[in-house]
């Protein structure tokens, strides 16, 4: 009788163990599918970017985190040179994220001023496209109105061109015109370097000169930095910018 009871217990435990294994496999499968979907979404549709410089102030501030539409301009299939055609191309006025032509490991964000075949000229800081004044008063920022001498290395900042944009390339400029390293200095952005169009700000983190710096050779500095940011979290977040559309 005792032996019979023991066998009965073993037979009852087998389905339970199999069921637990099935639950784990189902969970792993769901997690893998979710991860794959997230990766596909990130690569082909929407991706987040952090803004490290002030070249687009005051449209975009240092510490803003953007979500960009990658699908609209087309994306490359991973590990190939095949590019899926987009539904649109960068147009005048679009805020575009792209790989920096001189160093493709860096992502830049600027405003598209002109496209293929258009003629760009800057005269005493004012921008002209195809001979017409480019109306940018709503978003352009100038740090000063002094016109640089034409013999200065910075002369291109205030007087440039006329220049015809090559085929399949785009002329980009920062909204902070006196503090932007853009197409006036390094040329146009090839179509294949374009990553996406900025949509909106999903997070914005204000700078704080009092925040402790992180020294990776000293783990205590990381703890101090995290502690400081936790204590000052509410005041460092730019709450009014969250969800703001980028135009």
**Active-site amino acid positions:** 55, 110
Q: Which are the contacts of 85, defined by CB distance < 8 A and separation ≥ 6?
A: 74
Burial label, 199 (beta-carbon count in 10 A; 0-12, 13-18, 19+): middle
**What are the DSSP E strand ranges found in the chain?**
46-50, 64-69, 74-76, 83-85, 95-99, 107-114, 119-123, 126-129, 132-133, 160-164, 169-173, 189-190, 194-204
Cis peptide before 5 (omega within 30 of 0): no
What is the three-class DSSP state of 27?
A: helix
Q: In whole angstroms, what is the distance from residue 86 CA to residue 95 CA?
A: 16
Give, as one character, the DSSP assignment of residue 211.
Answer: S
As to burial, measured by CB atoms within 10 angstroms (0-12 exposed, 13-18 middle, 19+ buried), residue 53 is middle
198 neighbors 60 (Cβ within 8 angstroms): yes
Query: Residue 69 to residues 22, 66, 84, 174, 228: CA-CA distances in angstroms?
Result: 38, 10, 14, 19, 34
Q: Please enumerate in sequence order all residues whose Cβ is within 8 A of that of 162, keeping only pairs 6 or more positions apart, or say none.
A: 119, 120, 121
């Amino acid at each position: 009788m005792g032996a019979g009871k023991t066998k009965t217990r073993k037979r009852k435990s087998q389905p339970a163990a199999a069921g637990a294994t099935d639950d784990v496999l189902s969970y792993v499968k769901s997690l893998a599918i979710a991860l794959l979907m997230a990766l596909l979404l990130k690569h082909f549709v929407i991706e987040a970017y952090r803004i490290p410089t002030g070249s687009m102030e005051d449209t975009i501030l240092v510490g803003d985190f953007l979500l960009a539409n990658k699908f609209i301009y087309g994306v490359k299939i991973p590990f190939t040179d095949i590019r899926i055609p987009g539904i649109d191309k960068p147009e005048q006025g679009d805020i575009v994220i792209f790989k920096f032509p001189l160093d493709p490991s860096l992502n830049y964000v600027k405003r598209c001023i002109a496209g293929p075949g258009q003629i760009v000229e800057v005269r005493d800081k004012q921008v002209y496209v195809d001979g017409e004044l480019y109306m940018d008063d709503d978003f352009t920022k100038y740090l000063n109105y002094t016109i640089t001498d034409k013999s200065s290395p910075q002369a291109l900042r205030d007087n440039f061109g006329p220049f015809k944009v090559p085929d399949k390339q785009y002329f980009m400029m920062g909204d902070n015109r006196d503090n932007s390293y853009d197409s006036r200095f390094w040329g146009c952005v090839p179509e294949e370097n374009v990553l996406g169009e900025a949509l909106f700000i999903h997070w914005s983190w204000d700078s704080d000169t009092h925040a402790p710096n992180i020294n990776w050779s000293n783990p205590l500095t990381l703890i101090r930095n995290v502690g400081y940011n936790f204590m000052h979290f509410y005041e460092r977040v730019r709450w009014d910018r969250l969800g703001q559309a980028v135009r």
